Structure 1
Amino acid sequence: MKQFDTNEFQRLSGASSKLLHDDLAQELLEKTAREKLTPSQETSQFFNDLQGIWVGNKGWNIIALPSQGSIPKSHGDFKLLVVPYSETLSVSSTGAPARNRGGSLDQFVAALEYHQRVFNKDTGEALHVENGMFLNLSQIVNNGSETQPVPEFNVGRSGTIPHGDSIMLLGKPPVAEKGAPKIQDISSLPPDIGTEQPGYLTPYNDRNHGVDVTNPNATLRKDLELQQAAGFEILNTRTLIMDSTPTGAINNIPFVHQHANATRMHAVFWLEKVKNRNTGQEFDQLQYSQIIDLEFHLKFGQDNPDNLITWPHITINTMVKQ
């Protein structure tokens, strides 16, 4: 078995939580840090601890693309890219909440600005740049005084990338639990290619990549197993799930829409408090799994140009706050 590098999971310096002083729930958070939190408080605490600089070199990018010479709205071949990556994610408060005025009701949105930079782990080549915001949508008040119930989708994430795509994901309050996260299986294979085509999906069977290509979340679980074997314990986990459906959106430039349209994005974040049992040190760890559905190539047996194969584009990583 490959020797596990414990330094990859050790925090370097800095406080484990930064405060959103303008957040309307902050006073309650300070009083009830170890008590059961309301959905609004859980969200605020998640935003507090998400601030900082996160670094990880355990990332994997798995994406199928139209192969050279193929026409996206016809039957064609695809190219599967499996690329290891390192990443830096910087998250910081934008300051005082933005006030959305709605007449009898106002909403105060506490926002975090994020900057994501991803590089090929083997070559150092830049792979991905993304800028956006995490939005705490919990605080809705009546005429600036009486707090209203937390909306069903109280977390938002907006983002833009140079390919010409922009996202708006929405989610419900984070869920807190003791111990390690329950990371579910996912599949990177297209769920429906039409009539059976033996050998068409063979590229997904290559076992030489260092990642479970067909079920990338199994690699995230493996990271935790190696970490536990090296003397680390996950004390608690907060899970945030976000999606562009049913009320969010993805917008793409015409070229992307015509050649490999991104139709949906689903993202799960696991914010973990980790303890090094050998030293007693505690640090913050962030794992994520993201799926973007791309549509290109006709399903086999179909001739309707709108009946296209859906190809999951998956990215995963395990990161530590610096």
Structure 2
Amino acid sequence: MTIHPANTAPDLSTPLISEPPQMSPGVPTADLGPLAHLIGTWTNQNLAGTDKGGPGAPYSYNVMPLPQVDPSTPDGFILKNFSYYEELTFSAIHGSAANRGGVGTQTAFTAFYEQRVYFAEGPNKDALVHAENGSLLFLKDGTQQLGPYGNGDLPGICDKTVHNSMPPTQDYDIVKQVSVPHGNSILALGNYVSGATGVPSIPQASVIPQGYSGLPPEYTTQNPVTNPQPQYTANPNQVLTDALAARAPTNYLELELSSTNGTGAVTNIGFEQQHANVESYGCTYWLESFDGTENYTQLQYSQNILMKLPIGGRLLLFPHVTANTLTKVPGS
């Protein structure tokens, strides 16, 4: 048996990504819509006036089922559940991406993001457990400029449009593109709701696997390694509700995205297709303020990934749910 030294806790004080300064063109924050409020770095920090929320006691939980074929696991799966802390940085780019359709244009205003997730408990505490990057797009419809620079084939830049130019329409104006180094790529589409007052209503997250009428015993039995907090395993979103009870916001902005909306999709490498194929992805963000303004300093999210695991000769869907409450780093 090998004895490993304790992990070194990461330094969360430096943003994971940052766009270089540029005055012209500057970052088009006015065109980012709700995504403008995400720009900056978000980490687990103690909630104001409390001693909970930081890396030592985060309002977070992860329910992670894993396939395992072994006599010690007759059900064909194990759990790797834990609380976690993370660093998440959003950075807007100095420009936009125009998708031209001939007579109309759909323009994507973009924020890149980078995420690092660490164990907050268990035998591998402070080790990196997950990393991903990607982008969030805010889509705006508009007319199509004439020629490559809006001036036909003449020199210079102008704002001329093609004849009878007409803005397109779409059902979803928020897009999330996710790149996960397990070999998964995700395209999720959605919408947002702004101007909501009070405390958001957090729905219960179901983690019951397909083919089960209720939670399997692995989910309800306390185990310091595989299932340390079964009260959160039954409903990982309870950590979000607990955080709101500790400190209630005055108003919030909500973004909801899913790979099952419109032309959203998930693609996986061959090994994942055979052993843990991601069928769908859904995520809801709540940006929360505590002073009645658009000064959103708290970010909560709940993410649900449905994975198809080979269990007993069948492929069954298992929910992989993560939820966390983050605070914006001042000045970021």
Q: Which is greater in Rg?
A: 2
Which has the larger share of strand?
A: 1
> What TM-score, normalized by structure 2, do the two folds share?
0.72
Q: Among 294, 307, 317, which residue is 2:307 paired with? A: 294
Give secondary structure in 2 for the equivalent of 1:86. Answer: strand
Q: Among 136, 139, 143, which residue is 2:138 paired with? A: 136
Report the Cα distance in structure 1 between the residues aligned to 2:26 and 2:217, rounded to whole angstroms: 53
Deviation at 1:65, TM superposition (A): 0.8
Q: Among 301, 311, 322, which residue is 1:315 paired with? A: 322
Question: 1:256 aligned to 2:244?
Answer: no
| CA distance 1:118–1:185, shift in 2 (3 Å) | same
Contact persistence 2:275–2:310 (CA under 8 A): no
Deviation at 1:143, TM superposition (A): 4.3
Give the aligned length. Answer: 263
Deviation at 1:174, TM superposition (A): 3.1
Which letter does structure 2 place at the counterpart of 1:309?
Answer: L
Report the Cα distance in structure 2 between the residues aligned to 1:262 and 1:99, rounded to whole angstroms: 30
- Which runs of no fewer than 5 residues in structure 1 stay unpaired? 1-19, 27-40, 228-232, 277-281, 300-304
Contact persistence 2:189–2:259 (CA under 8 A): yes
After superposing the two structures, state which structure 1 stretch, 81-90 or 139-148, moved more: 139-148
Report the Cα distance in structure 2 between the residues aligned to 1:254 and 1:134, rounded to whole angstroms: 27
Deviation at 1:80, TM superposition (A): 1.1
Question: 1:268 aligned to 2:284?
Answer: yes
Give secondary structure in 2 for the equivalent of 1:203. Answer: helix
| CA distance 1:152–1:54, shift in 2 (3 Å) | same
Q: Which residue of 2 aligns with 1:14?
A: none
Q: Which residue of 1 aligns with 2:173?
A: 154
Which letter does structure 2 place at the counterpart of 1:121?
Answer: A
Contact persistence 2:133–2:179 (CA under 8 A): yes
Question: 1:99 aligned to 2:98?
Answer: yes
Q: Among 207, 232, 244, which residue is 1:212 paired with? A: 232
Contact persistence 1:169–1:245 (CA under 8 A): yes
Deviation at 1:110, TM superposition (A): 0.4
Report the Cα distance in structure 1 between the residues aligned to 2:108 and 2:257, rounded to whole angstroms: 17
Give secondary structure in 1 for the equivalent of 2:186. Answer: strand
Report the Cα distance in structure 2 between the residues aligned to 1:297 and 1:76, rounded to whole angstroms: 11
Which has the larger share of helix?
A: 1
Contact persistence 2:287–2:296 (CA under 8 A): no
Report the Cα distance in structure 1 between the residues aligned to 2:128 and 2:42, rounded to whole angstroms: 17
Percent identity of paired positions between Structure 1 and Structure 2 = 30
Give secondary structure in 1 for the equivalent of 2:182. Answer: coil
Contact persistence 2:105–2:168 (CA under 8 A): no
Contact persistence 1:22–1:97 (CA under 8 A): no
Root-mean-square deviation (CA, aligned residues, Å) is 2.7
Give secondary structure in 2 for the equivalent of 1:83. Answer: coil
- Which runs of no fewer than 5 residues in structure 2 stay unpaired? 1-24, 45-54, 147-160, 223-227
Give secondary structure in 2 for the equivalent of 1:216. Answer: coil
Q: Could you report, residue by residue, the CA deviation over 1:42-72 in whole angstroms, capped at 9, with x for unpaired residues?
A: xx441111100000242321111112448xx
Q: Could you report, residue by residue, the CA deviation over 1:168-214 in whole angstroms, capped at 9, with x for unpaired residues?
A: 11002334301111111121111434xx7x9x810111355175211
> What TM-score, normalized by structure 1, do the two folds share?
0.74
Report the Cα distance in structure 2 between the residues aligned to 1:177 and 1:284, rounded to whole angstroms: 15
Question: 1:46 aligned to 2:47?
Answer: no
- Paired residues for 1:165-204 under 5 Å: 165-193=184-212, 201-204=216-219
Which letter does structure 2 place at the counterpart of 1:174?
Answer: V
Deviation at 1:241, TM superposition (A): 0.6
Give secondary structure in 1 for the equivalent of 2:201. Answer: coil
Contact persistence 1:176–1:239 (CA under 8 A): no
